[in-house]
Amino acid sequence: MAPAADPHHAPTLAVIGGGQLARMMAQPAIALGLPLRLLAEAEGVSAAQVIPDHVVGDYRDLDTLRTVTAGCSVVTFDHEHVPTDHLHALEDDGIAVRPGPGALVHAQDKAVMRARLDELGLPSPRHALVTSVEDVASFGFPCVLKTTRGGYDGKGVWFVSGPEECAEPLRVAAETGVRLLAEEVVDFRRELSALVARSPSGQAAAYPVVASTQVDGICVEVVAPAPDLDPDLAGRAQEIALTVAGALDVTGVLAVELFETTDGRVLVNELAMRPHNTGHWTQDGAVTSQFENHLRAVLDLPLGSPAPRSRWTVMVNILGGPAETGRLYDGYPHALARDPHLRVHLYGKDLRPGRKVGHVNAYGDDLDDCLERARHAAAWFRGDLGDHSE
Ligand code: ADP
């Protein structure tokens, strides 16, 4: 449905993908008076609930992409799955694709990403492409096997300790027609994330480096800034993120997920070229959120300050609990009364076990207090602390 004419004469920004990241771009878009047009995969998905100017269709279909981007000068993304050929076709149509296909491929394909990092002299876990059990054996057990494309939230990642455990990953790779990457098992102290926003003019803003906790391959908690991080290592992580953003000509937000090794180094795990779960803390904990800086960056507007607003911010994801734990709204009276400083962000998604349906942010001067408040609220919403109707 076409919206009324925009009184601010701002350009309409096309966003592909109707998940929570697109939904959360809508908040700063409202504040800045930026019209968004969305391609949603289905009616009623997370971002389609809040962006009235949306088209429902398949992002793998070029005609659909052309319909959505018609009249838009810039297109950006909620996910990295749009086929590269389609992105080139949109560029040929005169639309600025941000981030562009040449950058995005490094977030789509882990083998391409590893090769490019090697060229840039940036640190990765030891790695090799493998096609057989023999290849994996000569790489050495134990190791991590990863499909180079299509993995997310720990899917497409296997820890293997012997030849018999390679059958499943090799089968999945063969069936899906993707390559398989072997990596050394990194002995890491924790996982870090370095987030930067970069505009086409080359302006960049680096957020403080954060620590993230993953359970079963899913990010559950983020602490900003990473507690007790050696300032030199924090600087190195930011430098890596800025180098990647510049060298790959990334526009918008880039998240570099890193391992902090037990012997005091940082190694790049993966790249994401969009707002990222490890940056959700910025909504309440930074002067400019990652979502706002993503919009500013892809529109080539000056970036906002990434400085933190308070000493600590803790983000905890709300994951769907067992199916019968009811409705998230039922959790509001207790969660909001218990902690008037808590910031809650729900995505408008149906509850499914393990699915990310929202997150909370708690900020303040005392890290333990922030952790307790954010963890309590997330556990409450999940239904781990009892029945909300009691
Ligand atoms: P995804 O594409 O699902 O995000 P990742 O490559 O980030 O996959 O891997 C998921 C999780 O598996 C990581 O967050 C990390 O905890 C663990 N992991 C991945 N690679 C390695 C590695 N080389 N060594 C040790 N742990 C790893």
pLDDT tens digits, 164-194: 999 999 999 999 999 999 999 999 999 999 9
- With a 6 Å cutoff on the Cβ, whether 185 touches ligand 1 is yes
CA of 218 to the centre of ligand 1 (A): 10
- Whether residue 172 is contained in a domain is answered as yes
CATH number of 313's domain:
3.30.470.20
Residue 186 Cβ inside 6 Å of ligand 1? The answer reads yes
pLDDT digits (tens, 9 = 90+) for 201-212: 999 999 999 999
Range of the domain at 305: 188-382
Phi–psi pair at 227, nearest 5 degrees: -60, 140
Any binding-site annotation on 260? no
- Both 24 and 60 in one domain: the answer is yes
Q: Are residues 306 and 163 in the same domain?
A: no
Residue where a domain terminates, one of 55, 79, 97: 97
The reply to whether 287 sits in an annotated binding site is: no
Give the atom of ligand 1 at the shortest distance from the alpha carbon of 146: 6
Kind plus residue range of the DSSP H or E element containing 334:
helix 332-338
Minimum-distance ligand 1 atom for the alpha carbon of 153: 3
The reply to whether 268 and 308 lie within a common domain is yes
- Say whether 191 counts as a known binding-site residue: yes
Q: Are residues 177 and 195 in the same domain?
A: no
Atom of ligand 1 nearest to the CA of 155: 3
Give the chain's domain count. Answer: 3
With beta carbons less than 8 A apart as the criterion, state whether 283 and 304 touch: no
* Ligand 1 pocket mutation pick from 172, 269, 276, 317 by most atoms within 8 angstroms of CB: 269
- Residue 387 predicted with pLDDT over 70: no
Q: What pLDDT is recorded for position 260?
A: 98
State which ligand 1 atom lies nearest to the alpha carbon of 127.
23
Average pLDDT, the chain: 95
Residue 6, in any domain of the structure: no
Our answer on whether the CB atom of 144 is closer than 6 Å to any ligand 1 atom is yes
Contact 153, 19 (CB under 8 A): no
| Residues 33 and 147 grouped into a single domain | no
Distance 268 CA to ligand 1 centre (A): 10
152 lines ligand 1 (CB under 6 A): yes
Sign of the C-alpha dihedral, residues 378, 277, 29, 89? negative
Is 349 part of any known ligand binding site?
no
Tell me: pLDDT of 69 over 50: yes
Please report whether residue 61 resides in a domain. Answer: yes
Q: What is the pLDDT of residue 197?
A: 98
* Residue 218, ligand 1, Cβ within 6 A: no
The reply to whether 107 falls in a domain is no
Our answer on whether the CB atom of 125 is closer than 6 Å to any ligand 1 atom is yes
Give exposure, 153-177, as e/b (b: 16+ Cβ within 10 Å).
Answer: eeebbbebeeeebbeebbebbeeee
Secondary structure percentages of the chain, helix, strand, coil, to 5: 35, 25, 40
Which residue minimizes the CA distance to atom 14 of ligand 1? Answer: 217
Tell whether 307 is covered by a domain.
Answer: yes
| 68 assigned to a ligand binding site | no
CA 124, chain centre distance (Å): 19
Asked if the structure places residue 1 within a domain, the reply is no
**pLDDT tens string 29-39:** 999 999 999 99
* 180 & 321 share domain: no
**What's the rounded Cα separation, in Å, for the pair 29 and 129?**
42
Q: Residue 390: what pLDDT?
A: 47
Determine whether the annotation assigns residue 221 to a binding site.
no
Both 170 and 197 in a single domain? no
Together in a domain, 232 and 336:
yes
Q: Do 301 and 372 sit in the same domain of this protein?
A: yes
Asked if residue 319 and residue 194 are part of one domain, the reply reads yes
Pairing, β 312-319 against β 356-364: antiparallel
Q: Specify whether the CB–CB gap between 50 and 23 falls below 8 A.
A: yes
Q: How far is the CA of 305 from the centre of ligand 1 (A)?
A: 30
Q: 214 falls in which pLDDT band (50, 70, 90)? A: very high
CATH number reported for the structural domain that contains residue 18 in this entry? 3.40.50.20
Give tens-digit pLDDT for 319-359: 987 765 568 888 999 999 999 999 999 999 988 888 999 99
How far apart CA 14 and CA 36 sit, in angstroms, is 6
Q: Are residues 228 and 259 in the same domain?
A: yes
User: Are residues 308 and 292 part of one domain?
Assistant: yes
CA distances from 38 to 59, 163, 221, 342 (A): 11, 46, 29, 30
Lowest mean pLDDT among 6-15, 62-71, 362-371: 6-15
Q: List the CATH number of the domain containing 145.
A: 3.30.1490.20
